Amino acid sequence: MSKDIRKRMNEMYMRDCLMAWFDVALLWAAVIFVLIAILGIVQDTNIRFVLYVSSFLLMLFNTASVFAMTKHFKEDKDFIYGLDIKHFDANHAAKINR
């Protein structure tokens, strides 16, 4: 595989990872914001406990899924991004030849 394609694949992978982890950070911020806002309204300790646990589980599973996704992308980088680059280049060539 040429160095240019390898470089493009690495750039695409890094951009995907950056955006995935940025989305996780935004989701964490949103869940924490909503949890703090709701806890000011809810007085029942049982409901507060359920809110804490469910928020924690939501973020745990979401973070774990993004970790697994980025790991999978790294392992199959050649296939995933190679195919993307192939289709991107073919579409670009088709537009030029019109």
User: pLDDT of 35-86, one tens digit each?
Assistant: 999 999 999 999 999 999 999 999 999 999 999 999 998 898 888 888 888 8
Domain ranges of the chain: 3-96
CA angle at residue 2 from 89 to 5, to 5 degrees? 40
How many beta carbons lie within 10 A of that of residue 11, not counting itself?
A: 11
φ, ψ of residue 41 in degrees (nearest 5): -95, -40
1: pLDDT strictly greater than 70: no
